[in-house]
Amino acid sequence: MAAYEELSKEELLKIKSELEAEFEQVKAQGLKLDMSRGKPSTEQLNLSMGMMDVLNSSSDLVCEEGVDCRNYGVLDGIREAKQLLADMMEVPKDNIVIFGNSSLNIMYDTIARSMTHGVMGSTPWCKLDKVKFLCPVPGYDRHFKITEYFGIEMINVPMTPTGPDMDMVEELVSTDPAIKGIWCVPKYSNPQGITYSDETVHRFAKLNPAAEDFRIFWDNAYGIHHLYEDKQDYLIEILMECKKEGHPDMVYKFSSTSKISFPGSGIAAIAASTANLKAIREQMSIQTIGHDKVNQLRHARYFKDIHGMVQHMKKHADIMRPKFEAVLSTLEREIGGLGIGSWLSPRGGYFISFDALPGCAKKIVAKAKEAGLIMTEAGATFPYGKDPQDSNIRIAPSYPTAEELKVATEIFVLSVKLVSIDKILESK
C-alpha cells in the first residue's frame, strides 16, 4: 500500500470517507473495550487458583527457619520466599528483602526514605534545593508519578532500541550532582518491550555519578515474562555487574510476583548491596513488625522453586502470545507501509508501544474513545503526562478476550488512520 503522504488530496478524502463509514458502524455497536492498563486477563488469573488450596487449616504454617508464619516475627522475609525471589531476580538470597504485595510501594518508600533520611547517610533530599531524576521515555507512568509527587525534577532521556541514550545518561549523571536517580524497566520495557543490550548494562554499571547518593532504580518487572520459549531476550544481571565495576551500592533492583500469581496479592522484593539493605532494614524495623509471612509461605509452597515458576510463566505466555500477535499482525496489515505510525514487536512484557505522527496521539486516543475503546491516556508515558511530540500511545493487549481484542485493535487502527489523514491533509 502506498504511504498516505504520497497520496493526493482527493485520494485521501476518498479513503477518509470510506474509513468514516466503517468507524460509524463500529461506533454504533456501543462497545465498551479497555486496552489501557497492563492487567492480566481472567484466564491468566485462573492459572494461579491452585494457590488458594496450597495452605489449609491442616497445614503446618511453620517456615524453614522454624518460625510460625501466623505470628509476629521475621522482618525481611522468610527463607523460602527469599530463595524463590532471589532465583527469580538472579541475585544471592542474602541480597534480597521481601516486602508486601507491591514493588511500586517499595519504590515509593525508597524515594520517601531518601527524602527524609538520605541514602546511606547522605543529606536528606528534602534538605536540598533541587533533586533530579532521569526518565527514559517513553516509560512507566507510575514511576514518574512518584518522583513528581515528591517534587523531583524529571529529565527526559530518549529510549533507543538498545535502552536509554547512554551518551546522554553518562554526560548528565557524571556532571550534575543534583541527579539522584534514573527510572529503568530494563527488560521488556514498559511500554516499548525493549530489553537493554549488554553494552547498555555495562555502561550503567560503569557510571561515575557526580552524586554519591545516585541510584539506578532497576524495576525488573518483566524478568521472566516471556512470550516465546525459543525467542527470549537476555538481560545482564545488574547487581553483579555494578559490583564488578566497583559500584556495588549504585543500584536498587525491584520485582514482584504481581503478574505471576495475583496482582495485588503477590509478594514483592528489593535486591541491593549489603550496605544498601542495612539502611533499608533500619527503616523497615521502624515502619513495620513484618510483612505477610503466610502469603510468602503460600507463594513458596505453591511454586516450590524457580523451575515451578518458569513452568507457570509458560502458561501465561500461551495466553499472552496470541494476543500480542493479533495486535501486531493487525497493525502490520492495516498500517504497515502507510507511513503513519511505527512500533516494535516485543518478545515479552505487557505492552506494545505505538508512535503516531507527531501531534496525533491525543486525537487518536480521543477518537478511539468515541467508539468505546479506552486506551492509556496519551502523554502518560512521559513525565508530567507531557509527550513533547504528542506521538506515543501505549497498547495493553492482556486484559481483553481474543474476541474483544480483535474489535479493539480494529477501532484503534481506524482511529489512527482517520486522525493521520486529517493531519496529512492539513499540509496538502
The residues of the shown chain that bind a second copy, judged by CB under 8 A, are 37, 39-40, 42, 45, 48-50, 52-53, 55-57, 59, 61, 68-73, 100-102, 104-105, 108-109, 112, 115-117, 124, 126-127, 142, 145-146, 149-150, 258, 262-265, 283, 286-295
Q: How far is the CB of 264 from a second copy (least distance, A)?
A: 5
Q: How far is the CB of 297 from a second copy (least distance, A)?
A: 10
**Closer to a second copy by Cβ: residue 211 or 297:** 297
Q: How far is the CB of 66 from a second copy (least distance, A)?
A: 13
Q: How far is the CB of 69 from a second copy (least distance, A)?
A: 7
**Closer to a second copy by Cβ: residue 45 or 210:** 45
CB within 8 Å of 237: residues ≥ 6 apart: 90, 91
Between the alpha carbon of residue 24 and those of residues 30, 96, 364, the distances in Å are 10, 54, 15
Q: How far is the CB of 399 from a second copy (least distance, A)?
A: 9
**Closer to a second copy by Cβ: residue 73 or 372:** 73
For residue 178, give the nearest of 137, 141, 123, 250 by alpha carbon: 123
**Closer to a second copy by Cβ: residue 108 or 310:** 108
Q: How far is the CB of 100 from a second copy (least distance, A)?
A: 5
**Closer to a second copy by Cβ: residue 146 or 236:** 146
Q: How far is the CB of 59 from a second copy (least distance, A)?
A: 6
**Closer to a second copy by Cβ: residue 21 or 286:** 286
Phi, psi (deg, nearest 5) at residue 329:
-70, -35
Residue matched to cell numbers 479506552: 374
Cell of 210: 557526580
Q: How far is the CB of 149 from a second copy (least distance, A)?
A: 4
Q: How far is the CB of 292 from a second copy (least distance, A)?
A: 5
**Closer to a second copy by Cβ: residue 17 or 57:** 57
Q: How far is the CB of 49 from a second copy (least distance, A)?
A: 4
Q: How far is the CB of 426 from a second copy (least distance, A)?
A: 38
**Closer to a second copy by Cβ: residue 118 or 164:** 118
**Closer to a second copy by Cβ: residue 203 or 291:** 291
Between the alpha carbon of residue 311 and those of residues 121, 179, 228, 338, the distances in Å are 42, 40, 12, 40
**Closer to a second copy by Cβ: residue 228 or 384:** 384
Between the alpha carbon of residue 402 and those of residues 3, 40, 56, 198, 353, the distances in Å are 29, 13, 35, 35, 19
Residues in a beta bridge with 181: 133, 215
**Closer to a second copy by Cβ: residue 184 or 297:** 297
